[in-house]
Amino acid sequence: MDARPPVAARVATTAVFAFHGLAIAQWFVRIPDVKIQAGLDDGELGLALLGSAVGSVSTMPVAGALTSRFGSRNVTAAFSLLFCACFLLPSFASSQWTLFAGLVCFGMAVGGIDVAFNSQASTVEKRHGQVLMSGFHASWSLANLAGAVVATPLVALEIPPVMHLVPTGVLSGLAMLACTRWFLDDERHSEAAPVRAVARLTPPLLAIGTIAGLSLMVEGAVADWSGIYLRDVLGAPPASAGFAFGAFSLTMAVSRLTGDWVAARFEPRTIMVTGSVLSAIGLAGAIATPDRVLTIIGFAVCGAGIGTTFPLALSAASRLPGQASGAAIAAVATMGYAGFLAGPPLIGTVSDATASLATGVGTAIAASLVMAVLARAVPAGKVTPTEAPERMGGTAPATSGAG
């Protein structure tokens, strides 16, 4: 039995989520400046952003295997060092291809550590015997908000991205490395009771995985494009371009902070449908008005609606009959993260093809509506705090798109 106190591990895991979210927010807010620095249009930026998808999705299976072999504490520590080295690379971009290459390395570090610390979060949940995942995700969202607040004055002062993102990556990586000292050892399963490493891709699992992917696609769309929308379409000054993402992060954090309480009182499918419709309404309102304040409010409404969808998708996967819960969670989480990374480039491509960023953002509205339809596949019944730790067994790690 691991002698480390679970309370200390819970605090350390929360801190790692927060440091990760704080750093990622710095990058999101500086995307418009890096776009200008590299001389890119919307379509070129969209293709360059695929670099992070290539890096993350290719590294996630490796990170999962390493986590199963060496434990989430050691793998998180290793990827923390990679985070220090790779997070800063996109800030040096001078062209589409240098940005793409930098984002491949960036994605490897960001995606790999995301898998590892989410696996530690599952271990902490089991030791505590209660649902904690929404709280961990809420810390990521709150740190995202704090990161947007920190980055905004740096943009206003016209601090170059490289002078901003280099210290951010190094300090955040070292902070996450320090937190692993209090991580718990992961559970090991005996050979007499092996856990299936790969989930069966049944229609219900594919539907729930699609919901996860679309929900994080919406999250990625707002993170990468809301600032550019305010700045390029509505003419907002650079210093206020991060307000939309900040408002979205705030309402999403509140949604996740209350997510466990709501899930104990309403069926997951009801929450998903309501949240998906709310997300679509918020995004439609954001692009339907020329008023910057109303646009920011629209993105905030989207955050309130979409905040609990991904955690609920993980819970729904764990309760699918005939599936090993750990493998099902890992499959859904991987599909979710792929959506988070693929969504922004898709919006850039649609925007370039139609010469309208509003049309590009409209793909996120369509994604929200599709989620509402697919929610019919989510198992009925409420999730209780005592149910989740028992059903989330398995060594396959879960990951979040946005942390």
pLDDT tens-digit profile, the chain (403 residues): 555 668 899 999 999 999 999 999 899 889 989 999 999 988 888 889 889 888 887 887 777 778 777 888 999 999 999 999 999 999 999 999 999 999 999 999 998 898 788 778 878 877 887 767 778 888 887 887 788 888 888 888 889 999 999 999 999 999 999 999 999 987 654 444 444 545 677 888 888 889 999 999 998 888 888 888 888 888 888 777 778 888 898 898 899 888 877 877 788 888 899 999 999 999 999 999 899 899 999 999 999 999 889 878 877 776 677 765 456 666 777 788 788 877 878 888 888 888 888 888 889 999 999 999 998 777 666 554 444 433 333 333 333 444 5
Q: Which residue has the tokens 């589409």?
A: 96
Burial classification of residue 235, based on how many CB atoms lie within 10 Å of its CB (0-12 exposed, 13-18 middle, 19 or more buried): exposed
The one-letter amino acid at 25: A
The one-letter amino acid at 398: A
**Packing angle of the helix pair 133-156, 309-318 (nearest 10 deg):** 150
Query: What does the pLDDT read at residue 199?
Result: 61
Taking the model in full, what pTM does it have?
0.75
CB proximity list for 368: less than 8 A, separation 6 or greater: 214, 218, 276, 277, 279, 280, 283, 302, 305, 306
Q: Which fold has domain 6-186+199-391?
A: Growth Hormone; Chain: A; (1.20.1250)
- Tell me the domain boundaries of the chain: 6-186+199-391
CA atoms of 281 and 365, how far apart (whole Å): 8
* Eight-state DSSP code of residue 235: -
CB 174 within 8 A of CB 80: yes
Q: Which residue has the tokens 């295997």?
A: 65
CB proximity list for 218: less than 8 A, separation 6 or greater: 279, 283, 302, 306, 343, 364, 367, 368
CB proximity list for 391: less than 8 A, separation 6 or greater: 318, 319, 325
Alpha-helix residue ranges (DSSP H) falling in 39-159: 42-70, 72-86, 96-128, 133-156
Phi and psi at 348, nearest 5°, equal -65, -40
DSSP string, 302-370: HHHHHTTHHHHHHHHHHT-TTS-HHHHHHHHHHHHHHHHHHHHHHHHHHHHHHT-HHHHHHHHHHHHHH
DSSP string, 164-221: HHHHHHHHHHHHHHHHGGGPPPPP---TTS---SS----HHHHHHHHHHHHHHHHHHH
Query: What does the pLDDT read at residue 33?
Result: 93
CA atoms of 63 and 299, how far apart (whole Å): 33
CA atoms of 110 and 239, how far apart (whole Å): 26
DSSP string, 251-307: HHHHHHHTHHHHHTTS-HHHHHHHHHHHHHHHHHHHHH-S-HHHHHHHHHHHHHHHT
CA atoms of 207 and 218, how far apart (whole Å): 17
**Residues belonging to the chain:** 403
From the list 51, 60, 56, 58, the residue with the least C-alpha distance to 31 is 51
Q: Which residue has the tokens 């005939």?
A: 322
CB 394 within 8 A of CB 325: yes
